[in-house]
Amino acid sequence: MEAFPALRRHIESQHTTGPDLVKRIGARISQLIDMNCYVGIRHSQGLPVHGQSTKRRAVTQKKLAKPRAQHFNYVMKKIHQRKIKKVLAEPAKKASH
């Protein structure tokens, strides 16, 4: 029993685990999507990233791709709308000064 806490402390001191790992991976994927690189595009579309064939395989990935892509497009559309509102509001602020 004493070996497990020591092992846990060793692993947690040497490696990222738990929620921190999830945040780190999510941040890396978001960075790839923002860079608009091939891997980021595949992530945003919910398709296989590592060169797997999608003609006959990747059924689960493609099945999940549509909801992921719809959510991603929804989020990006909201961000774009906010940017447009901000740009349209700036000239009105300048004109009032």
Tell me the CA distances in angstroms from 59 to 1, 10, 63, 77, 90, one per residue in order. Answer: 43, 39, 6, 27, 47
Domain that holds residue 67: 3-96
Q: In whole angstroms, give the CA distance from residue 97 to residue 85.
A: 19
Q: Is the pLDDT of residue 97 over 70?
A: no
Q: What's 7's domain CATH number?
A: 4.10.910.10
Q: What is the pLDDT of residues 31-63, one digit of tens each?
A: 998 898 999 888 888 788 888 887 777 777 667
Provide the mean pLDDT of the chain: 80
Q: Mean pLDDT, to the nearest integer, of 75-97? A: 73
Asked if 16 and 30 touch (Cβ cutoff 8 Å), the reply is: no
Q: Is the dihedral of CA 71, 48, 40, 29 positive or negative?
A: positive
First vs last C-alpha separation in the chain: 71
Q: Is the pLDDT of residue 86 over 70?
A: yes
Answering whether pTM is above 0.75, one says: no
Report how many domains make up the chain. Answer: 1
